[in-house]
Structure 1
Amino acid sequence: MLEIDGLTWAATIGLVLALLAVDLVVAALRPHRVGFAEATAWSVFYIGVAVAFGAWLWMAHGGEFGTEYFTGYIVEKSLSVDNLFVFVIIMTTFAVPEEHQHKVLTFGIVLALIMRGIFIAVGATLLSLFSFMFLLFGLLLIFTAVQLFRHRDEDPDVENNVVVRTARRLLPLSTEYDGGKLFIRQGGKRVGTPLLIVLVAIGGIDLLFALDSIPAIFGVTEEPYIVFAANAFALLGLRALFFLVKGLLDRLVYLSTGLAIILAFIGVKLILHWLHVDISPSVPEIATPVSLGVIIGVLVIVTVASLIKSRQDPSTKAHPGSLRASRPHRDETP
């Protein structure tokens, strides 16, 4: 059991909030197109912070917890790349100006942290009270993996997302972006801009990813502190990673397949853990170092295979995958 005192929790949350504040201030005070050099610098910085935190955890609390953190961080980072696919689709669908994409991403990260914080607290409580939750989480991840694999060559239908459709019905909206504002005065009425709908879409996507990523990391560790830290540091680098790799995303044609394999593997790990605890101690468990090796191996294989495939067939385009088949659009012509 990892013993973390209140001061350490406060310091960790304070560090995360401070880094978020920097992102928010930069996005609000200096809206601009983020170039490759700037995105690289921020990405290296965030990865450096995450690695430094893992090194501290390893030295302060031992290699077992350090390994759990790095495994969880890699899982969350790989899932966050799939987030980026969907963010690109949202930005493209709603034609978000480049100078406002920084703000949208930062807002999305804040929402994701809040949602995942809630799910972490709920998940940790349920696992401590009911051991069969390991079975339910495992089955959920296997179901998600199967659905993702079945629809690995599809894009999520952002326009038909229930949250976006509801927002369009309930809110009066303008058709033009206006200096990054969420609301403007139009004809004497206060109306929302397209940027508001973009943030609503990002929030809905964040909720869906939280439902998958939290059970996944609980398959790596049961420690709420490690779950929170791995999620937080993976998400903090998401904004910079978006601008760094958005040109490369189309080439990762097998990423959805790889993520489906990783989710299924962690689902099996959770079920084996439940069987070991509740049914029989003779049921073998999958050790964390083995999990780390499998996850890294899968990511390396799918990345190399994707780059080879895209080089051989430049017309091949990657998709983030979907958890359900996209609904065909109705023909509006009479």
Structure 2
Amino acid sequence: METVAPLWLWVTFVAIVLASLFVDFVVLKKQGAHDIGVKEALNWSLIWIALSFLFNGLFWWAIKDTTGSVELANTKSLEFLTGYLIEKSLAVDNIFVFLLIFTYFAVPTQFQKRVLMIGIIGAIVLRTIMILVGGWLLQQFHWILYLFGAFLILTGVKMWWAAGQEPSLDDNPALKLLRRILPVSKDYDGEKFWTIENGQKIATPLFMVICLIALTDVIFAVDSIPAIFAITTDPFIVLTSNVFAILGLRAMYFLLAAVASKFHLLNYGLAVILVFIGTKMCLIDVFKIPVGISLGVVVTVLAITMLLSVRSSSSSTSKP
């Protein structure tokens, strides 16, 4: 798999990720279990977004310095930005499922952030593996692009039809399987995943939650990774845009959890984006849609659905 990124930029990326996770864990440990307010979640979200844009600026400079081509640097940095926005927007649907899981298990807010941190680390490892495997498959078998594209279109259609339905975990097969395999306590034991009950070591509901979070990320990774491959096949851009989108997932969860009801139409927009990206992938050998147009479509669809969501929420609350 070929990439335009120099080796030192790979090293810098890994160092930034490790440093970010270290800072997040240190802050998490010092704060202890506590509720995350909207202001704190917004501040952290802005920090993660700013870090992603700063890295994209460094990426642009590295490409320009290495190749001497401003045009190539512009193209590659635009690919990173488009991929980042796609992964960030698809993560919103992931967050709504997290909210459903936390609500179903009545997870206290002060315990949720530890679960999310562990989920983020697991997601980074999982997606790195899937991206490397996916990149190798695309290099060996070009026709897989069409399978990815068709899968994204079907997923988008399915998401559109399911957008208006009330989600439920009652018939979730993964949850039923976990309950059959593991004895689970009825009550939480702080932030512990295991507890002692009647002299026996059993799982707490928090362990069930972390298992479902991990399974959920596997499912969503299958959707989001093919979407970024429709923008670029450069493994560096695919990996970095994914990871930077994931790094801010914890803060974005607490931010969106507070305003989830205001963006109830967002899933329709995500469905349109998936269908568009899938179509782009299927047409790649016939007509290659420019990255700038892809970015414009993603931003426009997200803006329209968010605006319509806020307007419909405002009109419904204003009615007597």
Tell me how far 1:314 sits from its aligned partner: 3.4
Residue 27 of structure 1 corresponds to which residue in structure 2?
28
TM-score by length of 2: 0.92
Residue 261 of structure 1 corresponds to which residue in structure 2?
272
Structure 1 residues 25 and 172, CA, compared in 2 at 3 Å: closer, same or farther?
A: farther
Maintained 8 Å contact 1:58/1:67: no
Query: Size of the alignment, in residue pairs?
Result: 308
Residue 248 of structure 1 corresponds to which residue in structure 2?
259
Residue 320 of structure 1 corresponds to which residue in structure 2?
none
The question of 1:309 aligning with 2:312 is answered yes
- SS of the aligned residue for 2:317 comes to coil
Identical amino acids, percent of aligned pairs: 40
Q: Which runs of 5+ in 2 are unaligned?
A: 64-72
Q: How does 1:150-229 map to 2 (within 5 A)?
A: 150-229=161-240
Provide the rounded CA distance (Å) in 2 between the counterparts of 1:18 and 1:162: 37
- SS of the aligned residue for 2:54 comes to helix
Q: Deviations over 1:200-256 (max 9, x none)?
A: 111111111001000011111111111111111111111111122212111112211
Provide the rounded CA distance (Å) in 2 between the counterparts of 1:28 and 1:168: 30
Maintained 8 Å contact 2:6/2:62: no
Residue 129 of structure 2 corresponds to which residue in structure 1?
118
- SS of the aligned residue for 2:201 comes to strand
Q: Deviations over 1:95-128 (max 9, x none)?
A: 1111101101111211221221121011100110
The one-letter code matched in structure 2 to 1:59 is: W
Q: Which runs of 5+ in 1 are unaligned?
A: 277-282, 317-334
Q: How does 1:231-310 map to 2 (within 5 A)?
A: 231-273=242-284, 276=285, 283-310=286-313
Q: Deviations over 1:30-61 (max 9, x none)?
A: 22111222212211110110010111112222
Provide the rounded CA distance (Å) in 2 between the counterparts of 1:9 and 1:159: 43
Provide the rounded CA distance (Å) in 2 between the counterparts of 1:213 and 1:24: 26
Provide the rounded CA distance (Å) in 2 between the counterparts of 1:152 and 1:20: 33
More helix by share: 2
TM-score by length of 1: 0.88
Structure 1 residues 315 and 163, CA, compared in 2 at 3 Å: closer, same or farther?
A: farther
- SS of the aligned residue for 1:221 comes to coil
Provide the rounded CA distance (Å) in 1 between the counterparts of 2:112 and 2:6: 38
Provide the rounded CA distance (Å) in 2 between the counterparts of 1:5 and 1:54: 14
Provide the rounded CA distance (Å) in 2 between the counterparts of 1:221 and 1:43: 26
Tell me how far 1:315 sits from its aligned partner: 10
Structure 1 residues 17 and 151, CA, compared in 2 at 3 Å: closer, same or farther?
A: same
Provide the rounded CA distance (Å) in 1 between the counterparts of 2:14 and 2:208: 29
Provide the rounded CA distance (Å) in 2 between the counterparts of 1:181 and 1:284: 53
Residue 43 of structure 1 corresponds to which residue in structure 2?
45
Provide the rounded CA distance (Å) in 2 between the counterparts of 1:41 and 1:93: 28
Maintained 8 Å contact 1:182/1:192: yes
- SS of the aligned residue for 1:300 comes to helix
More off after superposition, 304-313 vs 70-79? 304-313
Residue 69 of structure 2 corresponds to which residue in structure 1?
none
- SS of the aligned residue for 1:314 comes to helix
Provide the rounded CA distance (Å) in 1 between the counterparts of 2:109 and 2:133: 37
The one-letter code matched in structure 2 to 1:47 is: I
Maintained 8 Å contact 1:255/1:306: yes
Superposition RMSD in Å:
1.6
Maintained 8 Å contact 1:50/1:233: yes
- SS of the aligned residue for 1:191 comes to strand
Maintained 8 Å contact 1:43/1:237: yes
